[in-house]
């Protein structure tokens, strides 16, 4: 790498650490969330610098985009940080000793990990040659997708289980709050949504298709579709009641169900769990990825909404009643 | 020190910043932010170690693991936010109950 590149890396790392420090220390929580979104976008740049375009795409779409929207919605529901919370410990002695203890623990962790890292060789091929060796049998041409859905499919299966579990937890805890007024009064927002929604859907489908041979795939595509859904939600669109029951639940669980079924099918013939039959890997991976994209989009959108469909509400999430007595022309 | 190791060191710094804040900040949303920063630090160590391959392409296995991690992190964030909202609804505060306080 050139010297200019190293300089860029140093500036990027410095900015990342500074942003992390500011977002954890700043007095205003709204500012902290905005800084966190900026942190996520710069992190995506760092992944791209380190030769991980798949991770960069996912970080920008999920880590910065969806998490940012989620935190902004949460901030409205949780309220700001009060002065009393900032000075939580009663005495100066307690405050200082807490800082000292956590500081020592943090420094110890840093030292141990740094020592382990410095002991590693600066150049190591890792598992890359083995993945390249077996890539031809995996059914896809992109190594990261091959690892995700074939070589280490078990991880991904469990991860999709975590997605469904998270939705179960969220739905157990709260009912969906109202996210947007029934009729948003901003024509700019509506115009933007009309332009962006189709674009995001096409881009999501494209990323899904691209995953077979280039950076992209179900997670990135699903995140873009979820972004489209969140944008729609903020502009006042909502699922009508007849869609928020069984159809929504089927959509949430489809990815996990089909992944499990495809993984378990070889067991009937005496094969291994998640071992795709020879020759059919490509079709099966494409099937799983397509359904996963839909499920991931649904899960992420539900996560941003942050609650279950209400018993009485006419839509999911509920919309505000239009103001009474104000006739719209 | 090579560039990947530089990034790995940056990841350690991020992890420790998050660790410090998750203990010392009180507002629940700030703790969630801190946990996310810690996670980003771990991801950075992984991706940095994957970039040590000589030649063009990096090791795809850690990349796939971090992809999984990013999705799990957003799930964790969503669930933690739902829990925080519930705590706020029950106790009226966006923080954990103090010693001697009714735990709601």
Q: How confident is the model at residue B67 (pLDDT cuts 50, 70, 90)?
A: very high
Let me know: does B60 contact A148? Beta carbons within 8 Å: no
Q: Is B34 on the interface with A (CB under 8 A)?
A: yes
Q: Is the backbone of residue A164 left (phi > 0), alpha (psi -120 to 50) or beta?
A: alpha
Q: What are phi and psi of B14, to 5 degrees?
A: -60, -45
Say what the pLDDT of residue A181 is: 65
Would the CB atoms of B60 and A162 count as touching at under 8 Å? no
For B7, nearest residue in chain A (alpha carbons) = A13
Q: For residues B20-45, give the mean pLDDT.
A: 92
What are A240-276's pLDDT values in tens digits?
A: 888 888 999 999 999 999 999 999 988 888 888 888 8
Q: For residues A157-165, give the mean pLDDT.
A: 94
- Closest by Cβ to A50, choosing from B4, B12, B30: B4
Q: For residues A187-213, give the mean pLDDT.
A: 90
Map residue A315 onto helix, strand or coil.
Answer: strand
Whole-angstrom distance, CA of residue B62 vs CA of residue B66: 6
For residue A298, pLDDT beyond 70: yes
How far apart are the CA of A198 and the nearest CA of chain B, in angstroms? 24
Let me know: does B14 contact A16? Beta carbons within 8 Å: yes
Task: Provide the ipTM.
Answer: 0.93
pTM of the model: 0.89
What are A8-39's pLDDT values in tens digits?
A: 999 999 999 999 999 999 888 999 999 999 99
Say what the pLDDT of residue A316 is: 86
For A99, nearest residue in chain B (alpha carbons) = B24
Q: Is A38 on the interface with B (CB under 8 A)?
A: no
For residue A46, pLDDT beyond 80: yes
Would the CB atoms of A52 and B25 count as touching at under 8 Å? no
- Provide CB contacts within 8 A for A8, sequence distance 6+: A49
Average pLDDT, chain A: 87
Q: Which residues of B touch A40 (CB under 8 A)?
A: 40
For residue A76, pLDDT beyond 80: yes
- Provide CB contacts within 8 A for A311, sequence distance 6+: none
- Provide CB contacts within 8 A for A256, sequence distance 6+: A157, A160, A161, A163, A164, A295
Say what the pLDDT of residue B99 is: 66
How far apart are the CA of B102 and the nearest CA of chain A, in angstroms? 17
Would the CB atoms of B30 and A24 count as touching at under 8 Å? yes
């Amino acid at each position: 790498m050139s010297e200019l590149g190293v300089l860029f890396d140093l500036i990027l790392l410095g900015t990342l650490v500074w942003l992390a420090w500011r977002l954890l220390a700043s007095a205003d929580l709204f500012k902290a969330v905005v800084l966190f979104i900026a942190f996520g976008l710069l992190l995506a740049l760092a992944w791209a610098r380190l030769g991980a375009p798949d991770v960069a795409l996912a970080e920008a779409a999920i880590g910065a985009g969806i998490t940012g929207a989620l935190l902004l919605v949460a901030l409205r529901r949780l309220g700001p940080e009060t002065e009393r919370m900032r000075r939580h410990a009663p005495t100066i002695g307690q405050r200082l000793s807490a800082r000292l203890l956590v500081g020592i623990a943090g420094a110890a962790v840093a030292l141990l990990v740094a020592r382990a890292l410095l002991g590693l060789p600066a150049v190591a091929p890792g598992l890359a040659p083995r993945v390249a060796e077996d890539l031809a049998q995996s059914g896809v041409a992109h190594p990261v997708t091959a690892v995700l859905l074939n070589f280490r499919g078990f991880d991904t299966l469990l991860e999709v289980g975590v997605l469904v579990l998270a939705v179960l937890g969220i739905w157990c805890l709260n009912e969906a709050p109202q996210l947007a007024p029934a009729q948003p009064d901003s024509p700019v927002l509506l115009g933007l949504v009309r332009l962006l929604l189709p674009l995001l859907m096409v881009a999501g489908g494209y990323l899904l298709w691209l995953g077979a041979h280039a950076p992209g795939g179900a997670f990135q595509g699903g995140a873009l579709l979820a972004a489209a859904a969140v944008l729609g939600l903020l502009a006042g669109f909502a699922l009508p009641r007849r869609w928020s029951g069984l159809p929504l639940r089927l959509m949430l669980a489809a990815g996990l169900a089909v992944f499990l079924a495809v993984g378990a099918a070889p067991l009937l013939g005496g094969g291994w769990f998640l071992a795709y039959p020879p020759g059919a890997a490509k079709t099966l991976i494409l099937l799983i990825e397509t359904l996963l994209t839909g499920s991931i989009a649904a899960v992420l959108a539900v996560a941003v909404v942050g609650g279950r469909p209400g018993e009485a509400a006419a839509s999911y999430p509920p919309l505000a009643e239009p103001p009474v007595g104000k006739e719209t022309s | 020190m090579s560039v990947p190791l530089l990034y790995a060191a940056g990841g350690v710094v991020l992890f420790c910043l998050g660790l410090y804040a998750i203990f010392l900040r009180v507002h629940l949303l700030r703790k969630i932010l801190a946990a996310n920063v810690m996670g980003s630090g771990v991801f950075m160590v992984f991706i940095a170690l994957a970039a040590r391959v000589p030649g063009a392409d990096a090791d795809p296995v850690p990349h796939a693991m971090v992809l999984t991690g990013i999705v799990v992190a957003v799930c964790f964030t969503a669930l933690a936010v739902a829990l925080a909202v519930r705590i706020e609804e029950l106790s009226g505060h966006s923080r954990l109950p103090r010693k001697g306080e009714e735990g709601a």
